[in-house]
Each structure stands twice: as structure tokens, then as C-alpha cells.
Chain A
Amino acid sequence: MNLIVVLPLGLLGVGILFQLILGKVLSVKWKGWFAFLFGILALASTLTMLPAIIHGQKLDQTLFIWDQNVAVQYHVDGLSLIFALMATGIGSAILLYCINYMAHEPEGTTRFYVLLLTFIAGLVNLVFSANLILVYLSWEIIGLCSYFLVGFWYKEEKAAAGAKKVLVMTHIPGYGLLAGILLIYHSTGTFVWTDPSVSAAFTTGIFVLMLVAAMAKSVMFPLHTWIPEAMNAPTPVSALLHSACYVKAGVYLIARMYSFAHWPHAWNTLVITLGCLTILVGALFALAQTDMKRLLAYSTISQLGYIITGLGLGTNLGIAAGLFYCLSHGLFKGTLFLCAGAVQHSTGTRDMRKLGGLASRMPWTARIWLIAAAAIVGVPLTNGFVAKWLLLDAALNANQMIVVIVAWLVSVITAVYMLKATVSVFYGDMPEWLQKAKVHDAEPSMLAGMGILGSLCLVFGLAPQLLFKALVAPAADALGFHSELTLTWLGLQTSSAGIQVTLGAAIVLVAALLGWLVFSLVRSKKTTEPVSGVFTGGDPLPAQSTMNATDFTVLAENNLAIAYKITDPDRVYVPLWNGIKGLAAGIDKAIRPVSDNYPLWATIALAVVVFIAVWLL
């Protein structure tokens, strides 16, 4: 008996009931504290499984018959645990942040906390379930949670529209998962993916069906366009959606498919191709954004591309890189969203064109943002650096030069758009309206929530081996990939191609330092012209000509207009919808006069047609 498996779900379930029962009597802050308490208890109970998982055990538990011959059956291995820890761990930090963030919300806070806890429980149930039909059930539960949470401010047109897009664009591809599951059941007579017969039944068709479902959840091109529209949700929702609970469900499914069957080379190629396209498209669109959260949303698309590409490589190192990236992304993206939320909470806007110089008023938020921004860019000492390093190493090892080039190129683009966001919001001159506004740093619990996640970006950047040994290696093992990688401090590897990469990087670093030294020695004098405090990526600009978010955006839009046009799938979806609507209206217009005025005659005529058909059969 491994009832410990049920504990996180049980605690979250109690938390949900607690909110439902006491929601009317508790203050908003107390609701937040209790939600956080149950979140942290769920995290603690999930952590209790860690020792067994590190030692290579798998925890199985069957509870009861759910529906006829379908049992509630759990199977927890290294992969399940990574995702469960992300959901409960990052989820708890976000719940802590919520306490003050939601404190002034006039209505709907019980609904908010119930949905948030259900969201976390849904992901835990999804990754723990051995029964595929219950995987689908959980898949749709988190889908509904995201729908209702994105539409939390349902009286606002934009929030409601965003929620609609989330539901339509993720639910419909979800039928791919259901169809795949039913095909497996049809062939094997079991829904349990740990059953050995599943492997033989897992065909390319099923793989593609499930991949489509995963693509929509994990915002992979061309099913990614829902996520920027989902940004009108409360920021903790965006953070949870992007970092831990929603987009990661698709990543889990793709990774889990390695447990179902051995992948032929074509599957890897397909996933890598989609991953690379997603990396590029997300980054290109991120460049053009002026809304802080939309920029982060597009960056999620790009970063998810990195993760999926790593998994798609299908090598020991590739899987390890993908999983490490996944965890790292959860931490730095969660932090970035919470920081963006703090800025919006304090200033009332997330439009970067209206912001600037906030580092002086929100110093702690700025510092935490800087850490997370450094991590997403891949600056050494952060977990993002280790993740990118591992991925490039894996791609080099697998001789996937296209992946190396795309990953490297987009790393540069990532640096550009993150720099743009950082400078536009936190540095440069503060606009006049902000100087007059009562802008202050985030509340302590909000700072604590984002601070915990931000500091973990540094911890796992300095000592990635902690994460690697405890979580990544057991997860890769669970998928049948036995990484012999030896990861040391700062993520420097002493095995695989990493050693060459390390040496190469060291040479580049030394060359750069030497270049700077030579430049310092030979330059004649410093410029005397007044310059702006904004780094432009090149020659300094005069003070009156600062580079801001709009300039970057206009630059990107002007130069990449064709790329935006080609890679925007909404240009296909909108005519499709209009076509369906037009067809429906046309049919109704043609039939309604007959059905309203001559129902009997029409029935008789149609009956004759049916009789003729029967006769001919």
C-alpha cells in the first residue's frame, strides 16, 4: 500500500472543501492564507515521496473502481514527481503571493481559490494517474480551471474573450488525446499505460493524435495563439498557467510518451521541427510586444519550444536537458510573471510605453526581476544558463546543428526582448505621471512569493547538481534514459561533449576579457557628450533620443512584417470560423421558410426520399 500517493490530492481536496464551506465567513486574506497552507502541505506530502523516487522506486496504488472496469490507479515515478513538485511548489509560492494581491478583490475570491487549488490538484492527478481515461479527465479539469480563471473578471470583455479562446483552442485538440486513448483501449482492452500491451498498440497515428493535444496545451506553433489572449487574467493565474500547471501538462504528455513506446526516428524529427519553429515564432512575436505580460506570454511560447526540442532529441542528454529546462522555466517564468503582476498592481498598467525608472520605487521587485530575466536569457550563475548549456550540449552531441543554430540565435533575440522589457520598465527616466503616482514596492507576501522562486533560480544555477540528482536523473530513468552526465557547480559538465563546450566557452570568455582590456588601454578618451542611461545595444544615443519599448516594437514590426504575417495562424482560424458561420446562416436561410410554412409537405417529400433509399439498399 502506498497511500502516501493520495496524500497531496487529499490535502488539496480538503483545501477546496474548506474554501467552499468557509468561504462566506472568512476574510479574503484568510482565504488566501488557508489556500497557501493546503498548498504547502500538499508540497510537503509530495516531497515525502522523493527519497523513494531517488532510490529508483515507483509508487503504485489502486483505490477504487471509478467506472465499471476502470479503476482509480496511480503510478508515481520520477517524471510524475517533477511535475507534481512544480505544481505544488511553484503553486504554493503563487498562493503566498495571492494573499496580498487578491486582498482588495471585491468579489469572487472563494471561486478564485477553489479554482486555483483544483488547478493544482488537477495537474497532480494527471501526472500521478496510471489510468489514461483519468489522465484525460484531469487534462480537461485543468482546461476548465484555466478557462474559468482566465475569465475570472468575466464582466470585462477582454478577459471573457481570452477565456473563450483558451477553451476553444485547447479543448478541441484535446479530442486527439481522447481518440488516442480510446484507440489504445480498443487494441489492448486496458486504459492503464503501465500495462506492457500498450507499447505494441502505440502507433504513429496515436502518437500524432496525442501530440496535437499536447501542442495546444504547450502552446506549440501553430496552436499557440491562445496564450497571449489569456493575459487579461489576474497575474497569479498567468503565472500558474505559464510556469507550473497548464503549459507543462503538454510537456508531461510528450515526455510520458517515451514510457508508452520506443520512438522511431521520424517522431523525434517531427517533435524537433515543431519545437524549433515554436522557439523562433515565440521569440519573433515577443520582440514586437509593448504589453509586459504579452511579451512574457510570447516568451513562454519560445521557451516551451526549447523544452520540447530537448525532449524531441530523444537522447540521454536531450531528455535530461528538456526536463532541467522545464523545471528552470517554471521557476524563472513564475518569477517574471509575479514581478509583472507587482508592477501592474502598483502602477495600474503593464504597458511598457508608459513605464520606466521603477527600480527606484520598487527596488526589491526590480532585483528579483533582474535575477529571473538573467535566467531566461541564460546568464551564468542562473538555472537558465545551465538549462541552455545542457540543451546546446545535447544538440551538439546528437549532431543536430539546426537546433544549435536556432537555440543560439533565439538566445540572442531573448536577450534583446528581455533587455527591452527590463530597461523600459525599471530603468531610464520615470514618466511624469508615475512620479506623481503613489508607486511602492510589492507587499511582503508578494515579495516572498516571487523572492522564493527567484532565489531558487540562483540556487539551481549555482548548484544544479542538486536538482539534477534528485529530480532530473530519476525522471529520465523513468523514461528509460540513463544519463551518465556528471554535473558540477555552475552546470559545468565533465562528461559528454560538454567538456569541449566548456573549454570553448572558457576561450570565448578569455578572449572577451582580453578584448575589453585592450579596448580600455588604447581608447583615447571617454565621450563628453551627454548620453542617455539606456543601453541601446550599440553606440550611445543623445539624452533626448532614448530607446524605448515602442522603438523596439516599431523596429521589429517594420523589419519582420512578412514573418509576422506568415507565422500568424489566426489568419487561418478567423476565415475558418467565418466560413462555418456563413455556411450555417446560408443553410438556415434556405430551409427555414420550408420548415416553418410547409412542415407536413416537406415531411412527406422527405419520407418518399427515405422510402426510395430503403428500397435501393
Chain B
Amino acid sequence: MNSILMQTVTSLNGAAWDWIFCGAFLLLLIFIGLYARAIPQGKGLWWGLSALLGVLVIAGMAVGEGILRIVLLDTAAFVAVALVWNGNSAKAKAAAKTYLILMIVAIGFLAAGQYLAGENGTAPAFPLDKIAAGLLIIGFSLKLALIPFYFWLPNLAEHSKPMTTVLVVSVVDIAAFSELAFMRSSAPWLFTDYAVLWLIVALLSMFGGALGALAQKNIKRMLAFSTIDDMGYLVLGTLAGSVYGLNGAMLAALSHAFCKFLLFGAVGVVENKLGHDLTLDDHGIAAQFHVSAVVFIAGALGMIGVPPLFGFIGRWRLYLSGLEYGGVALVLTMAAATALALLYYVRVIHRVWLGKPSQEVAKVNEPALASFVLIALTVILLVVGLFPGWLTSLIG
């Protein structure tokens, strides 16, 4: 038996991960900025808020674990609310309102929960442990849009500009997830004592997210449910708590952040040209949007962890951690959820992108800068997926 497999992590290589996330977020923000230059996402206020959000998140990751990080990341969440509000449409404002209310609840619950949990890494005395656990589980579930606390995300994704959504799901959400992952080391009791609850939340998110995605006609809304689905895997890896589980979850979180940029980015290019939301009623648009089609397919395959894209590097670790934690049954359950994810992505790829166009159409000139950014990131994900050693050597 390989002893390292059975070893539960007592402390994640936090410093290394902080810097990896800093680098990843910086790269992502640059890409978002370049994309927004090509396809406007908002006026001056949008740029200002996006820059502020970026600074807060990167600073939050750079300062290391502690109260300052929590304050910075929570502030970033409120800036994200302002960004959604900046979308101007009534539906965007309604989505921002829901997001704001639920973030206030989430942050309140998390703050109270962390206060009650204390900093010594052990569970507080009864009944404070129960209260703290309930607050933290609900708080994180709300912040990460896990089922059953996902209500803010689908409408936000549907009614916001694509890069606004990317800032929320790929930056704010992933930074929040890193908090949860670090908590696996700093408050292990929260996971070991309430493992069943976490497992239920993770599995509900995986299957519920996938089924939710299958039910959607609007593509951005479908992508929101795929985020929920993916978060389930990340929580499961965190719950497993082994080296492979935690590192797998962190790597998968990085992949998630980049793949979501590709997916929303591709949809954004098409919607910008077509002038309406992309839905299952659109057909064969790959004939017009070559680059976006390639990028969307790459993003979808990356999301479900198909090699040789980067998503696989996190995914196989997550499956291994599932095996360690729940045996063959759990790993096959995870595979079944991934099969559902494949089905909803394949449905969109083949109904919306590939196949015969609804009418004879000419190829569209996709904005060069946006295309460059999307293709560059696709190539990066492919290269890192083929040669991940340099990255994984950093995490030890």
C-alpha cells in the first residue's frame, strides 16, 4: 500500500498555492481585459470595478491566510455585485439584488461561523460546534453556489455580460473555494464530523448541476449549472482531504477558472455578433464562428476533464481521492456524474455549434483580439495538460 495515498493532509502547501492562484488570477484578468477591449462589456465603471475586484482578489491571495484575506475576498464579492448591477438591464439588476442579499447572508454566516469555530483547529464545545458547523456549511454553500443554495447563480449568468460572469465564477468563486480548501487544514473537524453532509452537498451539486444544465435552453444559464456541477467535484476532493484530493481540487479549480473563461468568452463573441442570447434554438453556428466553436469545444472538454487538456490533471486526482474516500462505488458515481456532464455539453456542441446552419450564412469575422486571447488560452491549457510536471512540481 502506498503510504502517501493514505496520508491525510495536515497542511496544504499553502504558500505555493497562494502564489499559483495569484499568477492564475493575474493571467485571467489580463485575458479578461484584452477580451473586453475587443468586445465591450461595459463603460468606465465596469473597467474600474473589474480592476478593483482583481486587485482585491490578488491581494487577498497574496497576504496569506488570516482575517485580512477574508476581508479582501468578501469585499471583492461585493464589488462583483456592483459589476452585475452595472449590467443596466432590469433583469441584471434583479439578479444583482438576489446575489447581494444571498452574499450578505453568506458572509454573515461565514463570519459568525469562523468566530465561533475559533483558530485553534479543534471543534468548539457543544452546542457551539453545531452552530458553527451549520453556519459554515451554509455560508460556503451559498458563496460557492452549491446545491441547494445556488439560487443566485443561474440568473446572474443569464443576464450579465460574459466577462462579468467570468469575474464572478472564475475569480471570486474560485478564490472563495481556496478558502474552503485551506479550512480543510485549519479546521479539519468541520469535514470529518460532518462528512455525510458535505458528501450529500457535493453529490447533489454534481448530479443536480448536471441535470439542471440539461434542462436549460439558454447557453449561459446552462454554463451556470455546469459551474454548480463542477463545484461538487471540488468539494468532494476537499472532503476527501488526502494529498490527491486537495491538490486535485485546487488544480481542478484552476482549470475550472480558465475553462469557464473559454466557454463564456466563446458565447460572448457569438452573442455580440448575433445580437441575441445564444440558445438551443440556434443551429450550426460553427460555420460562421470557427474560432469560437473550437474554443467552446475545448472549454467543454476541459471542464469534464478529458485528456489531454489541463482539466484532466486535476480530475484524475479527484477520482483517486474519491476512490480513497468512498471506494469503487464513489468513483463510479463520480464517473456517472461526469457522463451526465458530457451529455449536456455534447448536446450544446451538436445542436448549437455543429451541424447544418439554420440558413445559408457567411463566415463571420470574429474580433481578432478576442480570438487571439481565446486561442492562446486554449493552447496554454493544452500544453499544460500535455506537460503538467512543471506546474505540479511547484505544489510538492
A271: min CB distance to chain B, Å: 21
Stretch of B20-28, B34-42, B172-180, B190-198 on the interface side: B190-198
B160: min CB distance to chain A, Å: 16
A343: min CB distance to chain B, Å: 26
Contact A189 B346 (CB under 8 A): no
B238: min CB distance to chain A, Å: 18
A interface, how many residues as a size bin? 35 or more
Q: Mark B197-216, 1 if CB is under 8 A from A, else 0.
A: 10000000000100110111
Contact B306 A140 (CB under 8 A): yes
Residue from B141, B193, B312, B343 within 8 A of A168 (CB atoms): B343
Contact B2 A188 (CB under 8 A): yes
B367: interface (CB < 8 Å): no
Q: Mark B221-235, 1 if CB is under 8 A from A, else 0.
A: 000000000000000
Contacts of B124 in A (CB 8 A): none
Known: A175-B335, A599-B102, A607-B138. A155 touches B151 (CB 8 A): no
Contacts of B114 in A (CB 8 A): none
Contact A617 B215 (CB under 8 A): no
Q: By DSSP majority rule, is chain A's interface helix, strand, loop, or mixed?
A: helix
The docked-state distance in angstroms from the alpha carbon of A187 to that of B328 is 12
Residue of A nearest to B211 (CB): A584
Residue from A188, A588, A595, A611 within 8 A of B134 (CB atoms): A611
Q: Which of A97-136 contact B (CB under 8 A)?
A: 133, 136
Contact B215 A140 (CB under 8 A): no
Residue from A167, A187, A599 within 8 A of B346 (CB atoms): A167
Known: A136-B307, A171-B342, A613-B197. A183 touches B142 (CB 8 A): no
A40: interface (CB < 8 Å): no
Known: A68-B393, A600-B102. A133 touches B316 (CB 8 A): yes
Residue of A nearest to B319 (CB): A182
A394: min CB distance to chain B, Å: 34
The docked-state distance in angstroms from the alpha carbon of A173 to that of B28 is 34
The docked-state distance in angstroms from the alpha carbon of A613 to that of B200 is 11
A323: min CB distance to chain B, Å: 28
A517: interface (CB < 8 Å): no
The docked-state distance in angstroms from the alpha carbon of A581 to that of B211 is 8
Residue of B nearest to A595 (CB): B151
B44: interface (CB < 8 Å): no
Residue of A nearest to B197 (CB): A613
Contacts of A580 in B (CB 8 A): 211, 214, 340, 343
Contact B151 A67 (CB under 8 A): no
A587: interface (CB < 8 Å): yes
A24: interface (CB < 8 Å): no
Contact A606 B148 (CB under 8 A): yes
Contact A168 B342 (CB under 8 A): yes
Contact A154 B355 (CB under 8 A): yes
B31: interface (CB < 8 Å): no
Contact A599 B5 (CB under 8 A): no
Stretch of B52-60, B76-84, B384-392 on the interface side: B384-392
A49: min CB distance to chain B, Å: 24
Contacts of A179 in B (CB 8 A): 319, 323, 328, 331-332, 335
B65: interface (CB < 8 Å): no
Contact B319 A614 (CB under 8 A): no
Q: Mark B350-362, 1 if CB is under 8 A from A, else 0.
A: 1000111100000
Contact A189 B1 (CB under 8 A): yes
Contact B320 A154 (CB under 8 A): no
A308: interface (CB < 8 Å): no
A160: interface (CB < 8 Å): yes
A511: interface (CB < 8 Å): no
Contact B197 A603 (CB under 8 A): no
A183: min CB distance to chain B, Å: 7
B206: min CB distance to chain A, Å: 14
A25: interface (CB < 8 Å): no
Which of B2, B151, B212 gathers most chain A CB within 10 Å?
A: B151
B149: interface (CB < 8 Å): yes
Contacts of B354 in A (CB 8 A): 151, 154-155, 160, 163
A144: interface (CB < 8 Å): yes
Contacts of A155 in B (CB 8 A): 284, 286-287, 354-357
Residue of A nearest to B127 (CB): A615
A185: interface (CB < 8 Å): yes
A519: interface (CB < 8 Å): no
Residue from B138, B307, B338 within 8 A of A175 (CB atoms): B338
Contacts of B196 in A (CB 8 A): 617
B301: interface (CB < 8 Å): yes
A137: interface (CB < 8 Å): yes
A484: interface (CB < 8 Å): no
Q: Mark B327-339, 1 if CB is under 8 A from A, else 0.
A: 0100110010011
A433: interface (CB < 8 Å): no
Contact A606 B194 (CB under 8 A): no
Residue from B102, B286, B324, B389 within 8 A of A186 (CB atoms): B324
B33: interface (CB < 8 Å): no
Contact A588 B215 (CB under 8 A): yes
Q: Mark A465-477, 1 if CB is under 8 A from B, else 0.
A: 0000000000000
B264: interface (CB < 8 Å): no
Contact B134 A610 (CB under 8 A): yes
Residue of B nearest to A596 (CB): B155
B133: interface (CB < 8 Å): yes
B85: interface (CB < 8 Å): no
Q: Which of A144-169 contact B (CB under 8 A)?
A: 144, 151, 154-157, 160-161, 163-164, 167-168
Contacts of A178 in B (CB 8 A): 316, 319, 335
Known: A588-B216, A617-B193. A137 touches B323 (CB 8 A): no
Known: A68-B389, A595-B151. A183 touches B323 (CB 8 A): yes
Which of A160, A175, A603 gathers most chain B CB within 10 Å?
A: A603
Residue from B133, B308, B389 within 8 A of A140 (CB atoms): B308
Residue from B216, B339, B356, B387 within 8 A of A66 (CB atoms): B387
The docked-state distance in angstroms from the alpha carbon of A133 to that of B315 is 12
A172: interface (CB < 8 Å): yes
Contact A137 B307 (CB under 8 A): yes
The docked-state distance in angstroms from the alpha carbon of A315 to that of B185 is 54
Residue of A nearest to B97 (CB): A599
Contact A67 B313 (CB under 8 A): yes
Residue of A nearest to B154 (CB): A595
A602: interface (CB < 8 Å): yes
A293: min CB distance to chain B, Å: 20
Contacts of B148 in A (CB 8 A): 606
Contacts of B9 in A (CB 8 A): none
Contact A167 B389 (CB under 8 A): no
Contacts of B111 in A (CB 8 A): none
Contact A614 B316 (CB under 8 A): no
Residue of B nearest to A583 (CB): B211
Contacts of B272 in A (CB 8 A): none
Contacts of A585 in B (CB 8 A): 214-215
Contacts of B356 in A (CB 8 A): 155-157
A12: interface (CB < 8 Å): no
B124: min CB distance to chain A, Å: 13
The docked-state distance in angstroms from the alpha carbon of A584 to that of B215 is 5
A484: min CB distance to chain B, Å: 40
Contacts of A617 in B (CB 8 A): 193-194, 196-197
Contacts of B289 in A (CB 8 A): none
The docked-state distance in angstroms from the alpha carbon of A66 to that of B286 is 34
List 7 interface pairs A-B (beta carbons < 8 Å), by A numbering: A65-B389, A144-B301, A161-B350, A179-B319, A188-B2, A190-B2, A603-B105
Contact residues of B with A, CB < 8 Å?
1-2, 4-5, 98, 101-102, 105, 130, 133-134, 137-138, 141-142, 148-152, 154-155, 193-194, 196-197, 208, 211-212, 214-216, 284, 286-287, 301, 306-308, 312-313, 316, 319-320, 323-324, 328, 331-332, 335, 338-340, 342-343, 346, 349-350, 354-357, 387-389, 392-393
Other contacts beyond A164-B346, A179-B328, A577-B343: 13, CB < 8 A: A64-B389, A67-B392, A136-B316, A141-B307, A144-B301, A144-B306, A186-B2, A189-B1, A584-B212, A599-B102, A599-B152, A614-B130, A614-B133
User: Closest 7 CB pairs between A and B?
Assistant: A189-B2, A588-B215, A175-B335, A584-B214, A599-B151, A160-B354, A584-B215
